[in-house]
Structure 1
Amino acid sequence: MVNFNGVVLDDEAVFLNEKNRGLRYGDAVFETLRAHAGKVLFWEDHYLRLMASMRILRMEIPMEFTMEFLEAKILETLEKNRVHQKTARIRLTVFRKNGGLYTPKDRGVDYIIETSELENPFYLIDRERSYEVELFKDHYIAPGLLSTIKSNNRAVNVLAGIYAEENEYDNCLLLNTEKKVAEALNGNLFLVKGGTIKTPPLSDGALNGILRKKLIDIIGKTEDLTLEEASISPFELQKADELFITNVISGIIPVRKYRKKEYEIEVSKMLLGRLNAQVRLLG
């Protein structure tokens, strides 16, 4: 079942048409969230990012779009889908109302909440999996504010996903127009070299990820580790001790191979333990 503007509908219900601006122009933003046992993880961070994204796209924010209102609608949808006591993935999509061409006639919004069950209540690392990545160089991310938000304009990510599948890679790393590594196709990138962990700055076109923010905080409180928000060149990838990718659904995904380079996962495992400790507290 799906929640459309506060009304929970059957999956077969027809409630969108060809005039939808998210379909026509990518005029939409979204949040991907994780919930466990009726608790939305890092909800305040997600809510604040959603509000910031809507302001960047000049959408009118409805008065009822409070943190409490949207959380209640998410929890209602989880309950209707009978996953409110389980671990679940949620997608909250906000798109501008129908009308207009490039210039909208109405800056108001509609929203959709979708849910699906996840298997594990905590973040896990598959230690046996050889997770291999490659650079995607067919198209580039433009550095700037629009690249930091989760909008429906994801053509580069889609094409990188197809490239990875066709060439039997598990993921691709995306470059910006200055040929710096900005992110992975489905999350933020962290590079470990000695006691220093680097992650691309938002100004390089990296997504303003929720798990990115949480890991920056965890690393900042970890002895013997230093966090740098700094550009990463492709050359640095093969000099790194570890690479890992973060998103709110998978947590930390250690990269095991890039070209001829193979990586360790010791720092990834340690940080994952600290991340799961936060998840337990939230639960």
Structure 2
Amino acid sequence: MFVSYNFGIITEQDFGLSYANRGFQYNDGFFETLIFHEGKIRFLDDHLDRIKRAMQILSLTPLPHLTASFLQTQVLELIRQNNISSETIRIKINIWRKPGGLFTPESEEAEILITVAPQQPFPAVIGQADFYNGLPNRFTPFSFFKGPYALHYVQASIAKKKAGLDELILLDEQENISECLVSNIFWIKNNQVFTPSLETGCIAGIMRLNILRACQMLKVEVWEGNYSRSDLSEAEAVFTSNVTGLRPIWAIGQQIFANNHPLISQLQKLALA
């Protein structure tokens, strides 16, 4: 396997991390997941904007080569060298601070790792979901991106696996609905769309952003706020969103929802256009 380390393409065997790596030692970094489809990186400008905002808030110096044109070229070369022919390819970008210092870092410079792999298919519909009653989500200046606080996602994923569920819905400290394990959550009622506010600690998802744009284009009213389990129980349809697309949820607990709501298809088509 070939990877891109600090924008140089090397073999996986030649890549290694020092014990002093700050991502490993202090979670001093983050990651971004992107999708390559039909010859281009989907929502690339939106991803780059979130990366730049994350680096700024972590006091990391911008990486000069991290531009749309260079990243597209680099990913194409990684796909070629790894001989990947899948229709949809998953890109992961890890960024962390250069080694040096203990809690107080010695540098604001960053290192970057880019990897590509075939995107495994997902079922079109999420079967059985339920609420996670373990560690809550918490809003912080860092909660809009992925990486620093992943332990509650790991623990929730373990709970999902043990319970034999297809999805778990995470709550914040006030038991407001926040998000799902690897996706944002939306629901439809009276042809209006509802989704938790970013203040619940959910990820500021790139697909979430584009669904909100699609709602504007369709002139569908959107409500972002704090919602309880009972609010969700009044929905006609519930769906999740991440970089792979939109997926309706068939059941939450004992309650069944419509998984063929026409608005979900409209939003999927428009958001991915």
Q: What TM-score, normalized by structure 1, do the two folds share?
A: 0.89
Contact 2:86 2:119 in 1 (8 A): no
| Structure 1 residues 261-272: aligned runs within 5 Å | 261-267=255-261, 270-272=263-265
Report the Cα offset of residue 278 of structure 1: 5.5
Which whole-Å CA distance do the structure 2 matches of 1:261 and 1:207 have between them?
Answer: 26
Structure 2 matches for 1:101-250, cutoff 5 A? 101-118=102-119, 126=124, 131-223=127-219, 225-249=220-244
Match in the other structure for 1:53: 54
Alpha-carbon distance in 2 for matches of 1:159, 1:54: 26
Residues 128-185 of structure 1, C-alpha deviations (whole Å, 9 max, x = no match): xx61112112111112321111224211111111100000111111111121111111
Is the 8 Å Cα contact of residues 45 and 68 (structure 2) preserved in structure 1?
A: yes
What SS does the aligned partner of 1:151 have?
coil
SS at match of 1:266: coil
CA shift digits 1:236-275 (9 cap, x unpaired):
22221111110002x11211111110100233x5433553
Q: Distance in 2 between matches of 1:117 and 1:168?
A: 26
For 1:70-81, list aligned pairs within 5 A: 70-81=71-82
Alpha-carbon distance change, 212 to 220 in structure 1, aligned in 2, over 3 angstroms: same
Structure 1 residues 266 and 25: CA distance shift in structure 2, 3 A: same
Q: Deviations over 1:182-214 (max 9, x none)?
A: 111101010211221111111221211000011
Provide the secondary structure at the position in 1 that maps to 2:18.
Answer: coil
Please state how far the C-alpha of 1:103 moved relative to its aligned partner.
Answer: 1.3
Task: Say if 1:242 and 1:85 are closer, same or farther in 2 by CA, change over 3 A.
Answer: closer
CA contact under 8 A between 1:36 and 1:85: conserved in structure 2?
A: no
Determine the structure 2 residue equivalent to 1:25.
Answer: 26
* Contact in 1 for aligned 2:210/2:271 (Cα 8 Å): no
Report Cα offsets for 1:203-238 as digits up to 9, x if no partner.
Answer: 221211000011111122225x32111111122222
Q: Matches of 1:277 and 1:188 in 2, distance apart?
A: 17
1:40 and 2:34 are equivalent in the alignment: no
SS at match of 2:265: helix
Q: CA deviation at 1:98?
A: 1.1
Q: Is the 8 A contact 2:195 2:223 kept in 1?
A: yes
Q: Secondary structure at the match of 1:148?
A: coil
User: CA shift at 1:119, angstroms?
Assistant: 5.7
Q: Point out the more displaced range, 30-39 or 180-189.
A: 30-39
Change (3 A) 1:140 1:277: closer
**Distance across 2 between alignment mates of 1:176 and 1:40:** 32
Shift of the alpha carbon at 1:22? 1.0
1:64 and 2:65 correspond: yes
Aligned length: 272
What's the CA shift for 1:85?
7.2
Indicate the larger mover: 179-188 or 138-147: 138-147
1:198–1:274: structure 2 CA closer, same or farther, 3 Å change rule?
A: closer
Q: 1:258 to 1:119 in 2, by over 3 A?
A: closer
1:66 CA displacement: 2.9
Mapped to 2, the partners of 1:215 and 1:160 lie a distance apart of 25
Distance 1:244 1:85 in 2: 26
What is the distance in 2 between the residues matched to 1:78 and 1:95? 23
- Structure 2: segments with no counterpart, 5+ residues: none
Deviates more, 1:109-118 or 1:147-156: 147-156
Corresponding residue for residue 16 of structure 1: 17
